A = this chain, B = another copy of it.
Amino acid sequence: MDTKTKKKLEAGGWKTGDARDFLELSDAEAEFIEMKLALAQDLRARRLERHLNQTQLARIVGSSQSRVAKMEAADPTVSIDLLVRSLLKLGAARKDLAKALSEGPHRAVS
């Protein structure tokens, strides 16, 4: 299993100790993780666009630097709700989020 895939799985809270775990990752679960990754990427992109560091963004969205870091890493402990609420506070509109979602995380190699 390549590093990228492993990272993605772990972002969803999955351990990649053996093949069984991998095979039990249903389509729904995989899609869910990809959605989180897409939103996470979008959040980071918007933050960098504004030349903000994570601490500054934390103030804007009413959270802490560590949460922001976890959001951008699509950590298993952050919800889509938090990602969406943060993005909205950064000025994103519903359709912006829809776009980010449908485009999904950009894959370098497929």
**A residues neighboring B (CB under 8 Å):** 27-29, 31-32, 34-35, 38, 79-81, 84-85, 88-89, 93-95, 97-99, 101-102, 104
Contacts and interface: CB of A to CB of B under 8 A. Distances in A.
A71 to B, nearest CB: 14
Given A79-B81, A98-B99, A89 B35 contact: no
A28 to B, nearest CB: 4
Stoichiometry, copies per complex: 2
B80 A35 contact: no
Contact of A98 (B32, B88, B93, B98): B98
A97 B93 contact: no
A79 B80 CA distance: 8
A89 B95 CA distance: 23
A41 B89 CA distance: 24
